[in-house]
Amino acid sequence: MVKVYSIATKENKFTYKKARKRGKKSANNSNQLNLFEDLYPKIIKINTNLSPFEEALFLDERCDPAAQEAYLKAIFADDSPADAYCNLGILESKNGNKIKAFDYFSNCLKIDERHVEGHYNLANLYFEFKEYRLAKLHYEIAVELNPDLAEIYYNLGIIYAILDYYEDAYLALFKFKELAPTDVGKKADALLKGLENSLMKN
């Protein structure tokens, strides 16, 4: 099973997923075209009607370093604190501060134990630490909470393959292909092929 294990590496997994404020429109409206963004890339006007969390997300999606402080302000204001902790965890992980990221993801789940992105991102972090069984646990919780999120099945499939649960890996990756757009679903083809070969040999 060396072939499947060599394909199933952390470089192939989907990365962290930001939390959005529950029940409210995100500050970043992807359907709206900003005609002036390329002309004035350094000028950012923040809508004063945004809540502290929405302002933090607005800054985060523009890779503004002020996002970190803004998320902390959102937590202090008790505005979507679980989401803010989750996104702080992503920022810390990207900055190489894995222990701080773990702390933030844990705080997210202390506030909301059913926080899908919190479980998913914590699973990704455990994956990076090669704590595969803990990663598996949190991916499985995430998929229970949101069975329609394709990338969870992909990452779960990789974990199952690494842990030698080949049939479970195949089913998870097959489910990923069902849910993902066709071009994205092709990402699983090599793993599925390797798993098919292994399952036929057993």
What digits encode the pLDDT tens for the residues 112-151?
999 999 999 999 999 999 999 999 999 999 999 999 999 9
How far is Cα 127 from Cα 11, in angstroms, rounded to an integer?
A: 11
How does pLDDT run across 76-112, given as a tens digit for each residue?
Answer: 999 999 999 999 999 999 999 999 999 999 999 999 9
> CA 88 → CA 44, 67, 100, 158, distances in Å?
21, 9, 9, 26
Single-letter amino acid, residue 133: R
Position 6 pLDDT exceeds 90: no
pTM of the predicted protein model:
0.79
Share of the chain above pLDDT 70, in %: 79
- CA angle (35 as vertex; 33, 36 as ends), nearest 5: 130
How does pLDDT run across 7-57, given as a tens digit for each residue?
Answer: 455 446 667 888 886 533 333 333 333 433 444 444 445 556 899 999 999
Give the model's pLDDT for residue 191. Answer: 85
Contact between residue 164 and residue 8 where contact means Cβ atoms under 8 Å apart: no
Give the model's pLDDT for residue 16. Answer: 80
Give the model's pLDDT for residue 40. Answer: 41
How far is Cα 179 from Cα 143, in angstroms, rounded to an integer?
A: 13
Residue 22 class from Cβ within 10 Å (0-12 exposed, 13-18 middle, 19+ buried)? exposed
Give the model's pLDDT for residue 12. Answer: 62
